Chains A and B, each alone.
Chain A
């Protein structure tokens, strides 16, 4: 029976170990349930209101010694807590369970991609109507925009403070050193871009004696989107010759697909362009396998990114293509007309506590003016930045303030902010601003309920891909549209879309 004792002893060991650790951590681990429950602590300590803000905070990790929180807490007399979700999906799920549990965070950030979730929350009456507080939020008017509330209005009522949109548009970046080597000019037209891509594939631009490079990488859907706008169209609602149209059924769409087929057939595209994930496409360009990549400036030109591709190949040099004449148009990108940045909403329950609501409003105003606005953008004056003639200049300690952006509840003046923060990248930020854009009305549309957008999107993506890759002939395009409209009820969506745009006064 030796074995028996051994087991008993083993179990005993395990249990004591567990108990010891439990003992140690219960002191520090705040084993007490609901410690940070906002209602409780609000009741407990009258002087310090606890405010929870939920954000899709992504890869940010807040330092233990978080000077932004400390400063805000001190200045406003609150206890500010951020709840960060890693992904958008996670944020929505988290919100939903907490809504069900009657425990919504005080302030909720809805990403532009979560417009439908925001609308759902408004419909479910979970968010505070902000019309009565417009005056109290006056500082936001000058900081954000006159219509910072109204541009996300639903039936004339305001439910969110909208931040200004941060648009980093994507464009082509091309290896200047390769162009020089092959004695080619920087492309001015889409055709020239194609020729450069072809030369990159066939003429061994890296000079290693092997035919192991290709022209364009990225995602095929992105490249297709670009070819579309260069033909003056895209897959969405826009105004053409004064009339609201949807791009999919326009003749330009067919022409642009034919153009794309030629690009694919030339062999100048990454063979995996249809299945690339964003990171693997970027890696290919940075490795020196592809000479042209479709990306925004942050993906190529941020210091960390430059270090990557310079590190892999010190001679590499990317230039941005900010103007290109297409076969039919010279648009470079599509932007949503109403597109706003994040929507910041306040939970309805906050209004039950007058003092707390005031603090929440104070918080928004605080991050929109003077000290607070600078704090959440650049850090502490004197430590992380200095002011010269009213202009912000970052110090060499600025990197310690790299996490402050999560506190930008009122957004930021995008361009000035970026240029101050990324002085090396200022030219690209300027160029990004000046890209010629085609305006999209698609964002206005709320999906009809009996329409399964996921199925229709899948069918659309699959079939378009077949056309791009010439696996399906163009004469079948109308058949495809017909199938999409009937079996997948795309017609329902289009009809409803045109009607909604008409009701909103955009379409005649």
Chain B
């Protein structure tokens, strides 16, 4: 019933779609990159639209890296990203594991308790007061601790743990392993794809964070990268139009700032990607 021929057609069909997908996604990105590399007058002349730059200039990047705050902002962002991700994983894994154990008494209550926070929040002011009360205000930790757990990630990991074959846990318990042992020697090794996935989510989320920086940080030395990028992006839209003293950033500079701020996380992905190929589990199970 399944001929080699139809398999091949199916493959070709898949490749065509994959290429189409790549095309749809790469087109606008090429645009961002090209504009960042093209002299601004050239951009204007082309109606703001350039896919392949005719003449290349690194002027925008020179301006960007000439900004004194940039190196420091990079450091802050890297620190926040690494610490947030580590903290997220450390807190999320045991929490999700415990919630995935179906016999846990009060499980429904605890799950509801965390899901509830996805819908209900206290709002900006009381949250600020708690951050202040816990002594985090105007420290790097204000960008790390208040977002130490993402409920979304907890639920994803929990679902993955639930999907693991119960027999494995049974046999481990029969061998006398405690819950911690079961988590570290059975559940974790079997869930590398999901760990990597939520790790990636944490990295990206904390890399892109600016909200907590805006509200909890007043010391300019603690500004992460995204605050500076955002400043370049929003300034043309509001306040500074008409401000005699401000030179508005050009589209070229804006695009360059986007490239600068997102490239470092984008290159993370290929490393993550290899853990998302299928068949991980089987090897582990049989090994």
Contacts and interface: CB of A to CB of B under 8 A. Distances in A.
Direct contact of A and B (CB under 8 A): yes
Given A14-B82, A287-B44, A422 B244 contact: yes
B242 interface: yes
A87 B69 CA distance: 19
A86 B83 contact: no
Q: Decide if the interface of chain B is mainly helix, strand, loop or mixed.
A: helix
Interface in B196-245: 214-215, 218-222, 227-228, 230-232, 234-245
Contact of A308 (B44, B124, B136, B240): B44
A100 B129 contact: yes
B83 A21 contact: yes
A277 B238 CA distance: 10
A58 B67 contact: no
B250 A308 contact: yes
A115 to B, nearest CB: 16
B189 A7 contact: yes
Nearest to A311: B41
Interface string A359-376: 000000000000000000
B243 A58 contact: yes
Nearest to A406: B245
B244 to A, nearest CB: 5
Given A86-B235, A101-B129, A278-B241, A4 B185 contact: yes
A455 to B, nearest CB: 23
A103 B218 CA distance: 11
A338 interface: no
A484 to B, nearest CB: 28
A182 to B, nearest CB: 22
Nearest to B127: A97
A4 B125 CA distance: 44
A59 B41 contact: no
A443 interface: no
Given A21-B79, A93-B215, A15 B86 contact: yes
A2 interface: yes
B223 to A, nearest CB: 10
A56 B239 contact: yes
A320 to B, nearest CB: 15
A29 B140 contact: yes
Given A1-B185, A36-B219, A283-B44, A86 B245 contact: no
Contacts of B85: 14
A279 B250 CA distance: 10
A8 B250 CA distance: 47
A37 B67 CA distance: 27
Contact of B214 (A4, A94, A168): A94
Interface in B11-40: 39-40
Interface of B: 39-41, 44-45, 47-48, 67-69, 75-76, 78-79, 82-83, 85-86, 89, 124-125, 128-129, 132, 135-141, 184-185, 188-189, 192, 195, 214-215, 218-222, 227-228, 230-232, 234-250, 283-284, 287
A313 B46 CA distance: 11
A166 B244 contact: yes
Nearest to A89: B238
A22 interface: yes
Interface string A50-72: 00100010111111100000000
B243 to A, nearest CB: 6
Contacts of B89: 11, 14
Contacts of B76: 25, 29
Contacts of B137: 33-34, 101, 103
B139 A18 contact: no
Contacts of B40: 308, 311
A507 to B, nearest CB: 30
20 contacts: A1-B189, A17-B82, A21-B79, A22-B83, A29-B221, A56-B239, A58-B235, A58-B243, A59-B231, A59-B248, A61-B69, A87-B238, A93-B215, A101-B132, A111-B239, A283-B44, A296-B242, A313-B45, A402-B247, A421-B245
Given A56-B239, A83-B218, A1 B287 contact: yes
B235 A59 contact: yes
Given A88-B239, A103-B132, A97 B244 contact: no
Contact of B242 (A85, A168, A277): A168
Contacts of B235: 58-59, 86
Given A86-B234, A278-B241, A312 B287 contact: no
B239 A312 contact: no
A33 B138 contact: yes
A311 B189 contact: no
Contacts of A34: 135, 137-139
A422 B245 CA distance: 10
B135 A87 contact: no
A3 B287 contact: yes
Contacts of A283: 44, 48
A32 interface: yes
B183 to A, nearest CB: 11
A90 interface: yes
A100 B232 contact: no
A394 B83 CA distance: 48
Nearest to A402: B245
Interface stretch (A265-273, A297-305, A486-494): A297-305
Given A59-B232, A287-B48, A33 B135 contact: yes
Contact of B243 (A8, A64, A298): A298
